[in-house]
Amino acid sequence: MDSKLIDEFEHEHRKLRTAIAGLTREQMKAFPIPGTWSIQQIVLHVVDSAIIGTDRMHRIIAMDNPMIQAYDETQFTKNLHYHEQSVEDALAMLELNGRQAARLLRCLPPEAFSRSGIHLEAGKITLEEMLRRNVMHVDHHLKFIEKKKGMVLQHR
């Protein structure tokens, strides 16, 4: 297992903190592209997704071929009041989640990363694939944050 991948997962919070540095609460909640998520909604979505991803990894590590439940990210964003949440608290949770999960992942023998579960939408998925997905998910959303950040900063 590539320890760099575990390091990336552990420090996802840094990427998000850097991406939103200097933004006001109003800028975080702005909708520079109508019909899409605000920067704050993206950040809270990424945090929720990382925590769900950690739960999924725990299941793969601890159980034999567990079923991995899917979730509807649109419904989460719509119903979990992301604009009422604290971004700072969410990033603190992400930091602790990453640190604790990385500690566990570093304890595992290499063959543990071949363990798998059955994702109800994606099918069979290994621990290594789940870890990779989590890291790629943050990078995927950073592009949207950067684009929207540029737009809200232009409207100062």
Q: Residue 23 belongs to what domain range?
A: 3-49+72-106+127-154
Tell me the mean pLDDT in the region 68-83. 93
Give me 127's structure tokens: 């621990």
* pLDDT of 107 over the 90 cut: yes
Would 58 be classed as within a structural domain? no
Torsion of CA 18, 135, 51, 107, to 10 degrees: -110
Q: Distance (Å, rounded) from C-alpha 84 to C-alpha 106? A: 35
Would 59 be classed as within a structural domain? no
* pLDDT of 156 over the 80 cut: no
pLDDT digits (tens, 9 = 90+) for 30-39: 999 889 999 9
Q: What is the pTM of this model?
A: 0.93
Q: What is the pLDDT of residue 83?
A: 95
DSSP state of 11: T
* pLDDT of 2 over the 80 cut: no
**Structural domains in the chain (count):** 1
